[in-house]
């Protein structure tokens, strides 16, 4: 059962950057598989000794995570097909928590901006027409 989890996934598990469902699978397997627990311990000891893998360096430094500008363009639908495919891959296949969090933040900001814009427009219309709604003076 230990072989079902590559070292890269165990490292991501230790960094708490693994997909929650997959993290749950590892936690359940750790309870029943002593060999898996020993592998995880060796990985953690290696990391604590200062020895890092290339994949771990990429994950820790978030290399490959799209920039906020690229994700903003993705939301606006103005990215190239390759950029869109890359972002889709990071969010759906890799389930990159950094990419997903940044995307969710941008969506939330966009929603807030749209609400503020609508409210501001409504207020301007009301202010400009407020004099027109007054009752005529006799």
* Residues in contact with 107: Cβ distance below 8 Å, sequence separation at least 6, in sequence order: 75
The pLDDT of residue 20 is 87
Closest CA to 106 of 67, 79, 58, 80: 67
Mean pLDDT (the chain, rounded): 85
Q: Hey, is 130 helix, strand or coil? A: helix
Would you state the torsion angle of the CA atoms of residues 90, 93, 95, 96, taken in this order, to the nearest 10 degrees? -30
Digit-coded pLDDT (tens) for 75-116: 999 999 999 999 999 999 988 888 999 999 999 998 888 877
Alpha-carbon distance 30 to 40, whole Å?
9
Closest CA to 17 of 69, 52, 56, 66: 56
User: In the chain, where are the structural domains located?
Assistant: 2-60, 68-131
């Amino acid at each position: 059962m230990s072989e079902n989890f590559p070292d890269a996934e165990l490292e991501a598990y230790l960094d708490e950057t693994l997909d929650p469902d997959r993290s749950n699978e590892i936690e359940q397997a750790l309870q029943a598989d002593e060999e898996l627990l020993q592998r995880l311990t060796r990985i953690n000891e290696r990391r604590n000794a200062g020895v890092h893998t290339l994949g771990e360096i990429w994950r820790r430094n978030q290399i490959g995570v799209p920039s906020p500008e690229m994700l903003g363009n993705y939301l606006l639908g103005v990215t190239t097909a390759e950029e869109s495919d890359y972002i889709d891959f990071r969010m759906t296949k890799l389930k990159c928590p950094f990419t997903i969090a940044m995307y969710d933040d941008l969506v939330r900001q966009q929603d807030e901006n749209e609400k503020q814009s609508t409210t501001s427009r409504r207020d301007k219309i009301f202010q400009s027409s407020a004099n027109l709604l007054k009752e005529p003076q006799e």
